Amino acid sequence: MIYDVIVIGGGVSGLNCALYALRNGKSVLIFEGDAVGGQIANSPKVENFPTFMEISGSDLADKFYEQVQNRGAEFEYDRVISVEKQGNIFTVSTEYDSYQAKSVVAAVGVAHKHIGVSGETELLGNGVYYCALCDGPFYKGREVALIGDGNTAMQYSILLSSICLKVYLLTWTDKFFGDKELEKTLRSKENVVFMPHTQTVGFCGENSLTAVEYLDKQTGETKKLEVPAVFVAIGQVPNNKIFENLAELDANGYFIAGEDMSTKTPGFFVAGDCRAKGVRQLTTAISDGAIAAISACAYIEKQTY
């Protein structure tokens, strides 16, 4: 069988792409190597999605999955290892099989860089977070910690300083690596406590975070900072390398694509956080998915098979 559209990635961008393609009468196959819903599925509460005052990320993902499945989408829980185009047909190869399609949309998202310390995985969504925009408002009026020293870390710290009682900012050295104006704004915040020369060694707590354990690199002492939440902002990693034969990547590995989500290869589109753009949020990822689907459908209609 040759599908009309193969969507690689079962996050919100990929699911919305599938929904729009299905509503246009196209056959759709979705590949997901982990869990449907992507990163948002790990969020305990979502309050920035239209129509829902509050919903858990897992419930939102379930509703999305049910809607797309009821429309007729097929799912394969398998990892894609390559995509090739021959003539007007794409061949998508996985660890166990290969599939064909008239168009392919890569909505593979990004992975947050993890510190790799004890408690990080266990307390994810229960005090350990990677998006201050998403989860910071849940700690309004409370003290929180943030780990990182780049632009994202500074932006998150400024945001948190406007809603939290105090923000403890843990950095590896005494320098920031980013925009100087951003740093100037950050240093003007009276409720931001700078903690340079620190190395995070663990996150404490059983059911929820109680403290950040860190090494004071100047004294050699291991200490604990008692906070109910910590935001890790040490970077993101796109997983786009296997598609570089079809799409250009920027210096950081993100897809370079047009506003219609097109790439250098006709029929191959990208969507969501994996592409180079300024804002990476739940709703912008969903928007990308809709645009990619509309573009893919328009492309298919113009081809001869």
pLDDT in tens, 46-63: 888 899 888 988 899 999
For residue 135, the SS3 value is: helix
CATH of the domain at 69: 3.50.50.60
The residue ranges of DSSP E strands in 107-235, in sequence order, are 110-112, 128-129, 143-147, 166-170, 192-195, 198-204, 211-216, 221-225, 230-232
Tell me, yes or no, whether 120 and 221 share the same domain: yes
Domain boundary among 180, 214, 232: 232
- The dihedrals phi and psi of 16, each to the nearest 5 degrees, come to -70, -35
Tell me, yes or no, whether 126 and 142 share the same domain: yes
Contact 90, 267 (CB under 8 A): yes
| Closest to 290 in 3D by CA, of 5, 21, 8 | 21
Domain boundary among 175, 204, 232: 232
Tell me, yes or no, whether 160 and 265 share the same domain: no
Tell me, yes or no, whether 145 and 217 share the same domain: yes
Residue 304's pLDDT is what?
A: 84
C-alpha–C-alpha distance, residues 41 and 38, integer Å: 6
Tell me, yes or no, whether 133 and 209 share the same domain: yes
Tell me, yes or no, whether 221 and 242 share the same domain: no
Tell me, yes or no, whether 107 and 118 share the same domain: no
What letters, b where the CB count within 10 A reaches 16 and e where it falls short, cover 274-302? bbbeeebebeebbebbbbbbbbbbebbee
Count of structural domains, the chain:
2
pLDDT in tens, 4-61: 999 999 999 999 999 999 999 999 999 998 888 887 887 767 888 899 888 988 899 9
DSSP 197-221: SEEEEEEE-SSS--EEEEEETTTTE
| Cα-to-chain-centroid distance, residue 259 | 19
pLDDT in tens, 175-207: 998 889 889 999 999 999 999 999 999 999 999
Residue 40's pLDDT is what?
A: 82
Give the chain's mean pLDDT: 94
Pairing of strands 198-204, 211-216: antiparallel
pLDDT in tens, 138-152: 999 999 999 999 888
Domain boundary among 232, 263, 283: 232
Entry pTM? 0.76
pLDDT in tens, 241-261: 999 999 999 999 999 999 999
Whose structure tokens read 């020369």? 197
Residue 47's pLDDT is what?
A: 82
Range of the domain at 181: 114-232
The residue ranges of DSSP E strands in 19-117, in sequence order, are 28-31, 74-76, 80-86, 89-94, 98-106, 110-112
- Residue 236 clears pLDDT 80, i.e. is over it: yes
Residue 38's pLDDT is what?
A: 86
| Closest to 63 in 3D by CA, of 15, 8, 27 | 15
| Closest to 151 in 3D by CA, of 238, 255, 232, 234 | 234
Tell me, yes or no, whether 131 and 98 share the same domain: no
CA–CA–CA angle 190, 195, 199 (5° rounding): 155
Tell me, yes or no, whether 99 and 18 share the same domain: yes
Tell me, yes or no, whether 177 and 82 share the same domain: no
Tell me, yes or no, whether 124 and 107 share the same domain: no
Tell me, yes or no, whether 68 and 127 share the same domain: no
